[in-house]
């Protein structure tokens, strides 16, 4: 009995060492982010992504365990070296994007080194999902934020003007009644679109539609749905400010508008998925 118990526990030992090593490696990164980066509006979704990723890895444990033991030392060590190099560069240079991007390579390398290619295929989505924890690089944010702010300002003003609100704009400054609202970088929608892309990817993975056209349609809809949901958020903030004052628009209801953003996007995904399931016969069943 003791021998059998040891045989059953032995396969867990490498994974326990991996868990201990990953904790020692990335706990300082998480600690620093929790006291800085993750407290901002732009990257406040990262802890949620971390929790979802842990759940996804847990869900895939059986598929990984059933994969044949065929370690790929060459690719695995190469990937691990790349991941550790990125981690070291990110930590020493203070590049959060590079530091957190290293997780993708390290996680993939561990699967290759301990189990092999089939294990990596079984857990490809949790490994991929770590991408959504990576803060967007500053140059990318700067390049995309200004056009997004202008588009959102124009659309919001046109919609509310069409329904009779006294609203106008000058650049990204929106005037409604006696209030002026600046469409700030955080309201540009870039980071919220990134977090909503994570929500959309998770939705598609969980639904697991068999039809390729169905899945492709959901993937292509991620960005338009995220952009539309952010417009709804900005409209709600403008209306809250107009009807209840600037204090309400900048206070608790400002955070509530972020929740509305997620709800609108999730409902849009459900609605599109339902419509596609009715229109595309091959996507009625989920795997």
What is the set of active-site residues?
187, 233
Angle between the N-to-C axes of helices 96-114 and 73-93, in degrees from 0 to 180, rounded to the nearest 10: 160
Specify whether the CB–CB gap between 242 and 165 falls below 8 A: yes
Cβ neighbours for 248, distance < 8 A, ≥ 6 positions apart: 240, 241
Cβ neighbours for 119, distance < 8 A, ≥ 6 positions apart: 64, 67, 111, 112
């Amino acid at each position: 009995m003791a021998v059998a118990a040891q045989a059953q526990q032995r396969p867990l030992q490498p994974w326990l060492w991996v868990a201990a090593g990953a904790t020692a490696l990335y706990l300082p990164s998480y600690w620093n982010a929790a006291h800085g980066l993750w407290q901002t509006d732009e990257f406040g979704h990262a802890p949620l992504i971390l929790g979802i990723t842990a759940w996804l890895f847990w869900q895939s444990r059986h598929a990984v365990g059933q994969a044949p033991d065929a370690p790929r030392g060459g690719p695995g060590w190469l990937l691990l070296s790349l991941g550790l190099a990125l981690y070291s560069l990110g930590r020493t240079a203070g590049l959060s994007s590079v530091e957190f991007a290293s997780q993708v390579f390290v996680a993939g390398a561990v699967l290759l080194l301990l189990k092999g290619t089939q294990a990596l295929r079984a857990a490809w989505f949790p490994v991929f999902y770590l991408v959504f924890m990576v803060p967007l690089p500053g140059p990318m944010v700067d390049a995309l934020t200004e056009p997004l702010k202008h588009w959102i300002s124009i659309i919001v003003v046109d919609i509310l003007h069409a329904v009779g609100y006294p609203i106008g704009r000058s650049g990204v400054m929106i005037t409604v009644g006696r209030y002026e609202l600046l469409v700030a970088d955080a309201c540009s929608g870039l980071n919220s679109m990134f977090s909503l892309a994570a929500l959309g990817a998770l939705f598609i993975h969980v639904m697991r539609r068999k039809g390729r056209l169905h899945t492709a349609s959901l993937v292509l809809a991620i960005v338009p749905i995220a952009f539309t949901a952010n417009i709804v958020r900005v409209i709600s903030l403008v209306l809250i400010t107009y009807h209840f004052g600037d204090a309400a628009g900048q206070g608790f209801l400002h955070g509530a508008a972020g929740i509305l953003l997620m709800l609108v996007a999730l409902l849009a995904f459900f609605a599109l998925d339902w419509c596609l399931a009715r229109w595309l016969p091959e996507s009625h069943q989920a795997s």
